[in-house]
Amino acid sequence: MSERVRSFIAILLDDPVRAAVAAEVERLKPLAHSVSWVAPQNLHLSLKFLGEVEVAALEAAKEALAEAASEAEPFTLTVHGLGAFPGLARPRVIWVGVAQGARECQAIQARVEAALAQRGMPKEARPYTPHLTIARVRAPRGLAGLQQAIARDARREFGQVGVTSISLMRSELHPEGARYTELYTAPFSRR
């Protein structure tokens, strides 16, 4: 039986932006107890979740990333705002959004999807919305304080990130939380 690797494709954050988002997470944590928060070192902007794939499929994913990155130009991403999916009334995922750079994220994500599809990997059925997941709600009780804080800070800015590459990440699940490792970086070729 061959080894399978849980993986995803992402844009990584620089330290100042990661620290600003992590500080917001720390501020929000006491407001709800039925929420699982993302560890600061795991904050990222997902482009595509691959799930459990054969190790051999990672080579195809690397080729797809290189192809998608070869057509991309560096851009600036403004990490901005708080919200929830599917909505604030019954949140399941708490997120930090993207203002400037959202269209560029959608474009690179579409190139990644197309390059992966050419290599036999399934396309995502849902439309892509650039965001950083900061928490998952385990139970919809006792969220009023958290919902109010999110609504109040819906327009908060966390900083800017210069995006010059995309990364293939490995995700290993452990009792203390997920551990991510960068497997491959595809730099943008157009400058």
Q: How many CB atoms lie within 10 A of CB 41?
A: 12
Residue tagged active-site, from 33, 44, 80, 174: 44
Q: Is 44 a catalytic site residue?
A: yes
Please tell me the predicted confidence (pLDDT) of residue 191. Answer: 60
Residue tagged active-site, from 33, 80, 131, 174: 131
One digit per residue, pLDDT tens: the chain, 191 residues? 568 889 999 999 999 999 999 999 999 999 998 999 999 999 999 999 998 998 888 999 999 999 999 989 999 999 999 999 999 999 999 999 999 999 999 999 999 999 999 999 989 888 999 999 999 999 888 899 999 999 998 999 999 999 999 999 999 987 777 889 999 999 998 66
Burial of 44 (0-12, 13-18, 19+ CB in 10 A): buried
Q: Is 174 a catalytic site residue?
A: no
User: Where do the structural domains in the chain lie, given as residue ranges?
Assistant: 4-170
Q: How many CB atoms lie within 10 A of CB 34?
A: 12
Q: Which CATH superfamily is domain 4-170 in?
A: Cyclic phosphodiesterase (3.90.1140.10)
Helix (H, G, I), strand (E, B) or coil at 20: helix
Handedness of CA 84, 151, 146, 23 (dihedral sign): positive
